[in-house]
Structure 1
Amino acid sequence: MAHAEKRTYDKRARKWRYRGRYKLPNGKWGSVSRDEHGQPFYSERSAEQYAHGLEVDVRRKQFINPRDGRITVEEWAQLWLPSIDVGPLSEKEYRLRLKNHILPEWGSVAIGDLSPTAIITWEKGLRRRLSQNYADGVMSVFRTMLDDAVVEKIRGDNPVATRKSGRRGRYQPKPKDEKVIATPRQALLIARNALEMRGLNEYVIVLASAYTGLRIGELAGVHRDQLALKDRGQGPRLHSVQQSQYVGGEFTEIGNKYDSGRGLILPPFLADLLQQLLDSRPGSDWVFTAPKGGRLLRGGDWYAETWQPMVSGRAPRGVVRGAKARVGVRPVLGVEGLTPHGLRHSHKVWLDEGNHPRVAVEARMGHVLQGVEGTYSHVTLAMELAIAEYLQGLWEDSLRVVVDRREFGPYPPLKPSRVRRSPKLLPNAV
């Protein structure tokens, strides 16, 4: 039976301290000298009552040993990371969010000492420094890690508030969706800029992303033998079963995001363009390649040096100090800030505007319908062919000349070139 024992005299508080004794699930005696708030027991009754509550939890099989909560956040993270089952890129992001944000602030704190109020205060500062999406990602990792700590009975509750926790405070309306969407005509203009800058490969990959909804990494992972471009009554098809990614310093292929491998019927114009691209490089195993024919890698340099100028334009430049001349392209108006992933969003919008069956649209995007609708709805060949015909119509409409509005802006200013200056000679130099 739970009871209390006198321990030591607290000179600062000028009181005796007590500890509670209680039976553990294994039949041995446990002891507790502080409550859940970290305060010591200064009376025999308070220690006994707390110990009695722990014994009740043992009988109800809800017991959480206070000593288990002394493990630090960093120690728990080292145990927790090997247990997660996510893709290599997701695991990399988990580790970066822990290393750069969570552990520097909370690594040395015991999990049992984590305070919801302190975490919310830290989150407010985090959101002032980071973008909304990245801050959400950091808090999601922290919340998931502590959810698993609750399951392991290291702590009784999760101190990281959920988004639907209903905490009091100022009303924060949900931010509006500011994703930039391109029309078929704007996608064509971006692709034409890509053709001027980088040739056929970039031209086709922009249009393939816009008219298939595939991610850039998924397009980069398409092999030659995954194309069936001859229409034998079921439409030309592209089979996407993997994506190319740069993981752990090595270029590799992994499964599509969310295991969303799928085959897509292509509009005829895109099948013709892909055939032209294949014919231009007969020895390549991949459909889309780097400029010199190697594996396609989309990194930070490509976004800055290729994608952004395709959308925002760049000024022409002649030969300067041995550097090659550079063709200029004008910015496409109305899509300022468009990202490559925005082409995937644009594809979804186009299909929604065409009022195609939701199950066919979501299947083309690689999504799975939930609930009863997902159980009883199925994609048919007629639905897929109708989508391909609709996309072909969008393409043909985009080729029409537009004379009543401006589509291109002026060239952006040319950045000043860096002037190499010879080092000044020292006074005693010969």
Structure 2
Amino acid sequence: MAFWGFPGYVFFLTKPFTCMRPGELYALHRDYCHPNWPASDPDADQRKDGIERYGPVDLAVLRVQQQFQREFRKGPMKLFPPEYDSYRNLVLPAFLAELHSVLLDSHDHPYLFPAIGSRLLANANFDHHYWRPIADGRTASEEFTRVRLSQKQVVVSRRPLPEIPATSYTTKRLYLLRHAGKEWLDEDGHSRVAVETRMGHEVAGVEGLYSHVTLAVEQAIADSLQTRWLRFVASKGEGFSLPSPTPLPFDLQEWWKQQVKAARDLD
């Protein structure tokens, strides 16, 4: 939050709670996001299937339809199918569905996660310019001297940031957030087929051939992830807060208090 603001807050919750790959997150178009999908799906058959499956139930779902990758090492970013053609629907826990809705309403960017300055996130060197300062921490912005029109000027950053403390992910890879999401699903006892399907993998052999992820299984995943979230907020308490370098689109502190209350009601 302190580095990237509200989009960053939602991004770094979405990754472990959906197990999406980085390129899939960069390419998460608003047409494939909750609450727009499945009604907004441009493919008529896919739209029909999604409405028939999720329409009668109160489940928030997004669609992994594409990813941003480079066709050549130094070429421009382009849209491709997900890795291994792993098109899939991902149910969302209630708290994350709410955050996605708020984030979508806060901007008119075509993708859920705009970069700093509203640019295309896929074009950023994400690991260097986003992940490392967030995971490893950084010092507060300071004044610096520059020369303009032969005059020395003392200026501050156009986007001054407070000191950001290092996290437990110091020096570690972004991908570990995706792996953490898988560990949560394993710990909560979901079937291997359900977990690997959510990761975008196929299970080989008879197990993969004859097992299917039912709607009840998807509901169970959403419920267990919501419970895990509520246990986390309960451990932090109502006083937990995060600074933001940009104005927030809603009262995040009040929302957090409501989450803590829901956690207490759960107990």
What is the TM-score with the length of structure 2 in the denominator? 0.72
Give the superposition deviation at 1:247. 3.0
Distance in 2 between the 1:259 and 1:367 partners?
10
Counterpart of 1:206 (choices 12, 30, 38) is 12
SS, match of residue 315 in structure 1 = coil
Structure 1 counterpart SS, 2:141: coil
| Pair 234,401 (structure 1): closer, same or farther in 2 beyond 3 Å | closer
1:32-111 aligned within 5 A: none
Classify the secondary structure of the residue corresponding to 1:196.
coil
The alignment status of 1:266 with 2:92, answered yes or no, reads: yes
CA change 1:286–1:305 in 2 (3 A) is: closer
Aligned-pair distance for 1:380?
A: 0.5
Partner in structure 2 of residue 336 of structure 1: 170
Verify the 8 A CA contact 2:14 2:96 in the aligned structure 1. Answer: yes
Tell me which residue corresponds to 2:222. Answer: 388
Deviations 1:239-271 (A, max 9, x none): 011101233322210010000010111001111
SS of residue paired to 1:228: coil
The equivalent of 1:241 in structure 2 is 65
Q: Which residue of 2 aligns with 1:357?
A: 191
Could you tell me which amino acid in structure 1 is paired with residue 32 of structure 2?
Q
Residue 53 of structure 2 is aligned to residue 219 of structure 1: no
Aligned to 2:161: 326
2-side partners of 1:198 and 1:304: how far apart?
Answer: 14
CA distance in 1, matches of 2:217, 2:171: 33
Q: Report percent identity of matched pairs.
A: 36
Q: Which runs of 5+ in 1 are unaligned?
A: 1-194, 404-430
Identify the residue that residue 289 of structure 1 maps to in structure 2. Answer: 114
Q: Quick check: 1:234–1:385 contact (8 Å CA) kept in 2?
A: no
Structure 1 equivalent of residue 39 of structure 2: none
Mapped partners of 1:198, 1:247: distance in 2: 28
State how many pairs are aligned: 206
Pair 1:313 & 2:137 matched: yes
Q: CA deviation at 1:284?
A: 1.9
- Tell me the residue number matched to 1:420: none
Q: In the TM superposition, what whole-angstrom CA distance separates every residue of 1:43-75 from its partner, at most 9, and x where no partner exists?
A: xxxxxxxxxxxxxxxxxxxxxxxxxxxxxxxxx
Name which of 128, 137, 147 aligns with 1:304.
Answer: 128
Tell me which amino acid in the other structure corresponds to 1:343: L
CA contact (8 A) 1:284 1:293 kept: yes
Q: Does the CA contact (< 8 Å) of 2:30 and 2:112 recur in 1?
A: yes
1:365-380, aligned counterparts within 5 Å?
A: 365-380=199-214
Secondary structure of the equivalent of 1:331? coil
State the alpha-carbon separation in 1 of the partners of residues 200 and 116 from structure 2.
Answer: 29
- 1:351 shift after superposition: 0.5
Distance in 1 between the 2:235 and 2:218 partners?
29
Equivalent pair of 2:70/2:76 in contact (CA under 8 Å)? yes
Partners of 1:294 and 1:330 in 2: how far apart? 26
CA distances 1:344-368 after superposition (whole Å, capped 9, x unpaired):
1111111000111111111111111
1:135-161 residue CA offsets vs partner (Å, 9 max, x unmatched) = xxxxxxxxxxxxxxxxxxxxxxxxxxx
C-alpha distance in structure 2 between counterparts of 1:402 and 1:326, whole Å: 24
Q: Of the candidates 225, 233, 248, which is equivalent to residue 399 of structure 1?
A: 233
Q: 1:223 to 1:402 in 2, by over 3 A?
A: closer
| 5+ long unaligned stretches in structure 2 | 37-53, 146-154, 238-267
Contact in 1 for aligned 2:26/2:68 (Cα 8 Å): yes
Distance in structure 1 (CA, Å) of the matches to 2:172 and 2:62: 25
Q: Which amino acid aligns with 2:202?
A: V
Q: CA shift at 1:304, angstroms?
A: 2.2
Greater relative contact order (Cα 8 A, min sep 6): structure 1 or 2? 2
1:14-48 CA-to-partner distances (Å, cap 9, x unmatched) read xxxxxxxxxxxxxxxxxxxxxxxxxxxxxxxxxxx
Deviating 4+ runs (over 6 angstroms):
none
CA contact (8 A) 2:141 2:156 kept: no
